[in-house]
A and B are shown apart, each in its own frame.
Chain A
Amino acid sequence: MPVPRKTPSLAAACGLILAAALALGLAFNLVMPQGVGWLPPWVSRPLWQPAGLPQAAALHRQGALFVDARDPSQYKTARVRGALSLYPSELKLIYPLLKDTLAKAPLVVVYGRSRSRFPAAQIGQFLRGQGLSRVYVLQEDFAAWQAAGLPVSTPRRRSGS
């Protein structure tokens, strides 16, 4: 007499599908060269040095070059005084234009932090890879810099245009 195959309930089948997806995804990412780690390499294996707000403020006073890694729209609204804009999505396009300025800077501080991304760390890693030796990444976001009353530039509106 044939034994009837036991069919899992809908919830159990959904759970098994999720478990299989997680196991396969984990195995693939461990084995394959293109697999991703828990964190992006610019966070898990940083080549840059972290800088807290007081240290970054001191570096700003000493003439460090600040790099804004946020989106250009945010940079245009407000930025650290004297900062350049260099953001991940157009890094390869913009970097050659800023290369000489960055190379002349005694040290560079990159800022720009958000919930899912850490573009400042990505840019900091890139700059270290380009041969810049003293690269710091601000561990706070721009809002914290602004709230601390540190130097900020906001573009003036043209009157009558």
Chain B
Amino acid sequence: MRPWSEALSLACRLFLAALYLWAAHDKVWQPAEFAGAMAVYDILPLWSVNAASVALAWLELMIGLLLVSGVWVRAAAAWAGGLLALFTLLMLWAGFTGAGFDCGCLPGGGSHPAGFEAALRDFLMLLPALWLLWRPGRWLALRPL
């Protein structure tokens, strides 16, 4: 890979790592609050909300840790991209239904309303994940896939 391509991969990796670690911190540490934030969407059945919220929070943490350390970068990018695609669709749905509540995706409740703006934000953050899937890079990576 050319140096500029390696540099871009490293920048994408660190950006996504920071994003996922930041997003996961509160969700992992305060699982009841995150379960409540997920329940607001009223999509999942009651019996699955807590389990799904715990799984999602720890998946985000794993993605962040793998990306920052440069281990299995392509697999972590696949999860990161898959989740961001899912979140984009979820935000579009929230926008069309006029939900208006906090999206629950990032720390700072109330400052990130679910809707079209959040869908655009998630879609833009999907692009670095797609780049990493194509070019995971090797700079500062312990074990890229």
Residues of A within 8 A of B (CB): 7-8, 10, 13-14, 16-18, 20-22, 24-26, 28-29, 34-40, 43, 114-118
In the complex where A17-B76, A38-B50, A117-B39 touch, is A24 in contact with B58 (Cβ < 8 A)? yes
| Residues of chain A contacted by B57 (CB below 8 angstroms) | 25
In the complex where A26-B54, A34-B30 touch, is A13 in contact with B41 (Cβ < 8 A)? no
| Residues of chain B contacted by A38 (CB below 8 angstroms) | 47, 50-51
Q: Establish whether residues A18 and B145, one from each chain, have CB atoms under 8 Å apart when the complex forms.
A: no
Max chain B CB contacts within 10 Å: which of A13, A20, A116? A116
List 8 A–B pairs whose Cβ atoms lie within 8 Å, in order of A's numbering.
Answer: A8-B145, A16-B75, A17-B66, A17-B75, A18-B59, A21-B58, A39-B47, A116-B39
> A14 to B133, alpha carbons, bound, how many Å?
12
Q: Establish whether residues A28 and B44, one from each chain, have CB atoms under 8 Å apart when the complex forms.
A: no
> A35 to B45, alpha carbons, bound, how many Å?
20
> A47 to B139, alpha carbons, bound, how many Å?
57
Q: Whose C-beta in chain B lies nearest to the C-beta of A13?
A: B75
> Which of A8, A20, A29, A116 has a CB less than 8 Å from the CB of B46?
A116
| Residues of chain A contacted by B58 (CB below 8 angstroms) | 21-22, 24-25, 28
> Which of B28, B39, B40, B62 has a CB less than 8 Å from the CB of A20?
B62
Closest-CB distance, A3 to chain B (whole angstroms): 16
> Which of A16, A25, A39, A117 has a CB less than 8 Å from the CB of B54?
A25
Max chain A CB contacts within 10 Å: which of B46, B47, B57? B46
Q: Whose C-beta in chain A lies nearest to the C-beta of B133?
A: A10
| Residues of chain B contacted by A43 (CB below 8 angstroms) | 46
Q: Establish whether residues B62 and A117, one from each chain, have CB atoms under 8 Å apart when the complex forms.
A: no
Summed over the interface, the residue pairs from A and B with CB atoms below 8 Å come to a total of 92
> A24 to B61, alpha carbons, bound, how many Å?
10
Q: Establish whether residues A21 and B62, one from each chain, have CB atoms under 8 Å apart when the complex forms.
A: yes
> A24 to B47, alpha carbons, bound, how many Å?
20
| Residues of chain A contacted by B78 (CB below 8 angstroms) | 10, 14
Chain A CB within 8 A of B29 CB: yes
In the complex where A17-B63, A17-B66 touch, is A116 in contact with B49 (Cβ < 8 A)? yes
A-contact 0/1 string along B63-100, CB 8 Å cutoff: 10010000010111011000000000000000000000
Q: Which of B102-140 contact A (CB under 8 A)?
A: none
| Residues of chain B contacted by A8 (CB below 8 angstroms) | 72, 145
> A86 to B3, alpha carbons, bound, how many Å?
61
Chain A CB within 8 A of B43 CB: yes
> Which of B32, B38, B79 has a CB less than 8 Å from the CB of A116?
B38
Q: Establish whether residues A116 and B44, one from each chain, have CB atoms under 8 Å apart when the complex forms.
A: yes
